[in-house]
Amino acid sequence: MSFKTLSLAAAAAVALALPAFAEGTIAVNDAYARVSSKMAKAGAAFMVIENTGTEDDQLVGVSSDVAKRTELHTHKEDADGNMKMLHVKEGFAVPANGTHALARGGDHVMFMGLNRGLEHGDVVTITLTFEKAGDVTLEVPVDLERKPDHGAMKHGDHSGHDMKKSDG
Ligand SMILES: [Cu+2]
């Protein structure tokens, strides 16, 4: 095997190992899922969506076979200062040559009524539907050890939701 062939093989192995997905003008980086409430069988997925195209796009829908319902959600503070989750039917804008982050305490993909338990290391297949780019299917690793980013809101992780919270 020549050095060049070896390098290509190594590059391919690295590419497969990275949780990055690119399809057309949309790339998804740093995707992970976690259980937000074992009792209520709810979970969420987070990622950074990148639009490498020259036209603004919009994430308008999401689907998955791990849950009865998979929705695009965001967090909003109510009048009493409690964080509530809201279903965002219109979805999220992903600007041309820009990114939109789905992150703890903010916008997220919500799994409601999980069909199976999500264990650390499992992989969840989800399909994101974009207005222009169409469907982008990706494999999202379940990461139960990841801590919220520094500066994340104190009550930002699905507390104040109408589901029982069993996991911070
Ligand atoms: Cu939610």
Please give the distance, rounded to the nearest whole angstrom, from the Cα atom of residue 108 to the centre of ligand 1.
6
Per-residue pLDDT of the chain in tens (168 residues, 90 and over written 9):
555 555 655 555 554 444 456 558 999 999 999 987 777 789 999 999 999 999 999 999 999 999 999 999 999 988 999 889 999 999 999 999 999 999 999 999 999 999 988 989 999 999 999 999 999 999 999 998 887 654 444 444 444 444 444 343
Environment of ion ligand 1 (residues, CB < 5 A):
73, 85, 110
Q: Name the nearest CA neighbour of 46 among 154, 152, 162.
A: 152
**pTM summary value:** 0.74
Residue 24 confidence (pLDDT): 81
